[in-house]
Amino acid sequence: MMQRFSFLSLIRGHFKALRDRGQSSRRIAWGAIIALYGLPIAVGVASSVTQNARLESPATILTALALLAGAFLTSFTHTSTLRGKLSDRQGDNEDTERPDRNMIDEAATHLLMGAFASISTVILIVVAMNAQRGDVLLGWAAALIIGACSWVALLLLISLPRLYNAYIVVNKVPNELSGSFKGTGVVVTEDDDEIERN
């Protein structure tokens, strides 16, 4: 029964998605892990040390996190649709589109982890508000919530580039509108020959 409430597979998948996938290896992306988990801890500790961790209006943050959890889940639904499109046309392009499918799978995992982090932070805020019985959180409770909110924000930020790239790939956005293409993508005609200007 407890397996129904287990998030271990999601957490495991999240850390697998934080690996660099090259041709010959799947190295752990330590920079991403340190940024994603080290920064929130540092922010929480810094807020506790420098200003004795004071957090006003935790109920407002509670509402924002609840809305953000819904946004993460909605984005996951759209990502699943994009993944379905790639799966439908997988036949002849199975190997060439594998990186595209991996990119969408990564985005989906980070989005679900963001929803999990948002809900976990909501629970932390409710517990802290009941423990301190006030409209202002102080000390360890405030530091913990500030760190957790930073974690949620970073999960959102790590998902956005993947979502954008997935949109570009699946919908075949032309180079002149694609931010993934480094040139201008403008095609000019010179002596009846089409030349792509970089």
Q: pLDDT tens, 89-112?
A: 666 666 666 777 788 888 889 999
Q: What is the pLDDT of residues 17-30, one digit of tens each?
A: 888 765 445 677 78
How crowded is residue 170: how many other Cβ atoms within 10 Å of its Cβ?
A: 21
Say yes or no to pLDDT of 1 above 80: no
27 forms bridges with which residues in the sheet?
20
d(CA 149, CA 194): 51
Residue 145 pLDDT > 70: yes
What mean pLDDT comes out for the span 51-56? 76
Which is more confident, 70 or 96?
Answer: 70
Instruction: Cite the DSSP H helix spans in the chain.
Output: 8-17, 30-33, 39-51, 58-88, 98-132, 139-170
Q: Give the model's pLDDT for residue 195.
A: 45
Is the pLDDT reported for residue 52 higher than 80?
Answer: no
Query: What pLDDT is recorded for position 170?
Result: 75
Rounded average pLDDT over 69-95: 79
CA 197 → CA 13, 63, 181, distances in Å?
41, 48, 12
Looking at the predicted structure, is the pLDDT value of residue 193 above 50?
Answer: no
**pLDDT(119) > 90:** yes
The pLDDT of residue 194: 46
The per-residue DSSP string of 12-52 comes to HHHHHHTEEE-SS-EEE-HHHHIIIIIHHHHHHHHHHHHH-
d(CA 58, CA 143): 12
**At a CB cut-off of 8 Å and minimum separation 6, what does 127 contact?**
none
Q: Is the pLDDT of residue 192 over 50?
A: no
